[in-house]
Amino acid sequence: MKRFSPLAAAFLLSAVVFAGVLVWLLAEHATNRGDALKTAGLAGGAVAALYGLWLNDRRRRTEEDRHELERSRISDERFAKAVELLGHQADQVRVGAIHALAGLARTRPDVYAQTVLDVLCAYLRLPFAHGDFGDPVDEPAVAEREGQVRRTAQQVIQSLLARVGTPDAPAYTLDLSGARLDRFTLAGRRVGRLGAQGTTIVNGAAFTDTSFEGSAFFTGAEIHGPVEFVRTKFGSGTGFRDFTVHDEVTFTDVGFATPPDFTQARFPAGTELP
């Protein structure tokens, strides 16, 4: 059976309404023919107008869907290109790629925020030799430029994390296991889970007012420079086993959801553990 098109159905319904209203009004002895025709025309026209509104809304939604698909395609291409440029030889290109990824994470956080954080953490886990880590370096200037790129990645990671106290803010996961970090801070940020097993940090670290919603493991991590755990909140599964801090470390007003594991942890003499 051949179906009516929506347009034909709308015209047919409009005609039916027109005829029905006209017959009903003419059946009333108090209604003259002219008024009946006018009222019936308005009723039929209202049906046609409603169809026009429905059609416009459908076209609008179709156009929005098309724009969203195009937006997604462009965003995916930008993401793929930025990830590719993270391997570029020029340090300024790598910095630009990091900021491009950050832009995607901010404009479409539900799609890209965690993915971008995963990519930046993976970048920081790449092998890196620098004099601050006690490595012999043939080209210190090149190492320093790469160090600046990596510090930019660290800053972007911090900026993408929600501030503590932000209503309904997501808590993202960071996997920095084995990474080499410089002046690392998550101060005032909300983190889901943190993996920092075997991580090396130089020139200090700050976790003041940081809230770890999930587990946080510093197992085998090593930090050179002052470290601050001030008003830091830890969720379940906190581990400091074989954790080494070479300089001053401060634990003040720290909260643990479960007892932390400090087995074989090494701190400067006089350090007061929580």
Three-class HEC string of the chain: CCCCCHHHHHHHHHHHHHHHHHHHHHCCCCCCHHHHHHHHHHHHHHHHHHHHHHHHHHHHHHHHHHHHHHHHHHHHHHHHHHHHHCCCCCHHHHHHHHHHHHHHHHHCHHHHHHHHHHHHHHHHCCCCCCHHHCCCCCCHHHHHHHHHHHHHHHHHHHHHCCECCCCCCCCEEEECCCCEEEEEECCCEEEEEEECCCCEEEEEEECCCCEECCCEECCCCEECCCEEEECCEECCCEECCCCEECCCEEEECCEECCCCECCCCECCCCCCCC
In a domain, 150, yes or no: yes
Contact 185, 209 (CB under 8 A): no
Residue that terminates a domain, selected from 160, 192, 213: 160
| pLDDT confidence of residue 72 | 82
- Structural domain contains residue 31: no
Residues 140 and 183 in one domain: no
Residues 6 or more apart from 266 whose CB is under 8 A from it? 243, 244, 245
Asked whether residue 64 is domain-assigned, the answer is no
Q: Which of 137, 160, 183 delimits the end of a domain?
A: 160
pLDDT at 22: 43
User: What is the torsion angle, in degrees rounded to the nearest 10, for the CA atoms of residue 13, residue 18, residue 24 and residue 27?
Assistant: -140
Are 274 and 169 part of one and the same domain?
A: yes
Provide the domain count of the chain.
3
Orientation of helix 91-107 relative to helix 109-124, angle to 10°: 150
Name the residue range of residue 8's domain: 1-26+37-58
**Number of residues in the chain:** 274
199 with 234, same domain: the answer is yes
Helices 33-85 and 109-124, packing angle to 10 deg: 0
| pLDDT at residue 70, rounded to an integer | 72
pLDDT tens-digit series, residues 180-212: 999 999 999 999 999 999 999 999 999 999 999
Instruction: Tell me, yes or no, if the pTM score tops 0.85.
Output: no
Cα–Cα distance for residue pair 110/21, rounded to 1 Å: 52
pLDDT given for residue 27 in this prediction: 61
For residue 13, the model assigns a pLDDT of 52
Buried b or exposed e, range 198-217, using 16+ CB within 10 angstroms: bbbbbebbbbebbbbbbbbb
Amino acid, res. 131:
G
Burial category of 108 from C-beta neighbours within 10 Å (exposed 0-12, middle 13-18, buried 19 and up): middle
Domain assignment present for residue 142? The answer is yes
Q: What pLDDT, on the 0 to 100 scale, is given for residue 40?
A: 46
Whether 32 is in a domain gets the answer no
- The predicted pLDDT at position 32 comes to 52
Q: Are residues 142 and 192 in the same domain?
A: no
> Is there a single domain that holds both residue 45 and residue 86?
no
Indicate whether 204 and 251 sit together in one domain: yes
Q: List residues bridging with 205 in a β-sheet.
A: 184, 227
* CA nearest to 235, candidates 263, 254, 250: 254
Query: According to the model, what pLDDT value does residue 222 have?
Result: 97
What is the C-alpha separation between 131 and 123, in angstroms, rounded? Answer: 19
Considering the domain architecture, whether residues 140 and 182 belong to the same structural domain is answered as no
Residues 144 and 182 in one domain: no
Residues of the chain where predicted confidence (pLDDT) is lower than 50 = 1, 18, 21-22, 25, 29, 36, 40
In a domain, 254, yes or no: yes
CA-wise closest residue to 197 among 179, 219, 215: 219
**The two three-digit tokens of residue 85, written as one number:** 């440029």
Residues 45 and 80 in one domain: no
Does the residue 63 lie in any domain? no
- Tell whether 134 and 168 lie within a shared domain: no
Provide the mean pLDDT of the chain. 85
* One domain for residues 218 and 269: yes
Check whether residue 139 and residue 188 sit in a common domain.
no
6 domain residue, yes or no = yes
Boundary-marking domain end, from 103, 136, 160: 160
